[in-house]
Structure 1
Amino acid sequence: MWNFLIQIGVALVLSAVSYALKSNKYDKPTASSLDDFDIPTAEEGRVIPVVFGTVLLTGANVVWAGDLKVTAIKKKGSKK
């Protein structure tokens, strides 16, 4: 019985401490740009890695990736 009450007391104390230490700062979200993503590039003279096994390669070198552009999303209100 006492073990259960001690656990409840510890849980309440830890909850109070976490509430007291929480940050009230909220960062505003920023829009992503093409520089934020690790997209494949096409560069002459770039080193080609030699990989054995399963490895995640970031920033692969490709011949052509298409026309990359940023388009803003415009949300229109809907009528009910």
Structure 2
Amino acid sequence: MNFLIQIAVMIVAAYVSAALNTPPKPKPAALTDWDFPTPDEGTRRAIIFGDCWVSSWMVLGVGNYRTRQLKLDSGGKK
């Protein structure tokens, strides 16, 4: 009978610890999180205009990456 009390206390303790535990906040995405294939020094670079499938594509540059949150206005002019 004593083991039933211990199991009940263990279950209550698990529920209390789960209820009091705050979930971890996710880290914001950073440019280092992405793994773009980048060219090595001396690799030839092709410039393609329009739509085209290339077997060995590389990312030569990533621009306009925002690191701060955008501030939105409350609405239109009044």
Shorter-chain TM range is 0.3 to 0.5
Q: TM-score, normalised by structure 1?
A: 0.37
- TM (norm. structure 2) is 0.38
Q: Which has the larger radius of gyration?
A: 2
